[in-house]
Amino acid sequence: MKPIIGITSNVEFDLKHSLVNDYIQAVINAGGIPIIIPVGIDSDVSQIVEKIDGLVLSGGGDIDPTLFGEEPHQKLGAISPGRDSLEIALIHRFLEANKPVLAICRGIQILSIATGGDMFQDIYSQSNLELLQHSQNATRYHFSHYVKVESNSLLADIAGQTEFKVNSFHHQAVRNVVKPLVVTARASDGVIEAIESSEHNFVLGLQWHPEPLALNEDHISKAIFQRFVQACNQ
């Protein structure tokens, strides 16, 4: 039996759901059956979690800073409160059930928020670091900057190496994480690029987008989806 993988979707001002096909195809290629999870079903997430084997938190817009006790910064982009609340509810239930979570781009940030961490609303105006360009002006499958990975991490185990290049399409980033989440990769400027759980079987957050890279035959990105889908099968 193939595992069923729920993928959260974007919703633009509560009007229209959308999801880039790369997420769907990357899950199919890795041996999973993807289904798209809509917003508006927060009270039913327990039932969803029983029915599906893994969760992909997909990329998208910004996150409501009220969720981590801040007011909106000038550089905050479009937010989707309904999406935020659904994803936080899903994360809580998935962690309780110890079922696999792969959190991509916006997903790594909502994973941090849902577990009590926080984030930069806009790294360029809020971080003291000398920053790289994290909003690359290139195709989705271009490798933009390096990440350095902690050697005893799930991500290093999957990648088989501790330094490699990734793409980068973000102006927000995780700031502080709370246990059981730990930081397992950073860009050379110090920006957090991967987090994972030290207590769960497979909870991995990535600030970059492995899905277009996987479809472009990048072996590390393919391995990320394959290991995730394998974990969903256990």
Nearer to Mn ion, 134 or 200 (CB): 134
Q: Minimum distance between the CB of residue 45 and Mn ion, rounded to whole angstroms?
A: 30
Q: Minimum distance between the CB of residue 64 and Mn ion, rounded to whole angstroms?
A: 22
- Assess 186 for contact with Mn ion (CB under 5 A): no
Query: Is residue 71 annotated as a catalytic residue, yes or no?
Result: no
Instruction: Please give the residues from 188 up to 217 whose contact with Mn ion meets the rule CB under 5 A.
Output: none
Catalytic residue among 87, 196, 209, 232: 209
> Could you give the CA distance from residue 74 to residue 121 in angstroms, rounded to a whole number?
9
Number of residues located near Mn ion, criterion CB under 5 A: 2
> Could you give the CA distance from residue 174 to residue 193 in angstroms, rounded to a whole number?
8
Q: Minimum distance between the CB of residue 111 and Mn ion, rounded to whole angstroms?
A: 16
Q: Minimum distance between the CB of residue 194 and Mn ion, rounded to whole angstroms?
A: 10
Query: Is residue 209 annotated as a catalytic residue, yes or no?
Result: yes
Instruction: Please give the residues from 130 up to 149 whose contact with Mn ion meets the rule CB under 5 A.
Output: 134
Residue showing tokens 């290049």: 165
Instruction: Please give the residues from 7 up to 66 whose contact with Mn ion meets the rule CB under 5 A.
Output: none
- Assess 168 for contact with Mn ion (CB under 5 A): yes
Query: Is residue 232 annotated as a catalytic residue, yes or no?
Result: no
**Is residue 212 within 8 Å of residue 141, measured between CB atoms?**
yes
Of the ranges 3-11, 38-46, 72-80, 129-137, which one interacts with Mn ion (CB under 5 A)? 129-137
Residue showing tokens 């899905």: 211
Catalytic residues: 105, 209, 211
Residues near Mn ion (CB under 5 A) are 134, 168
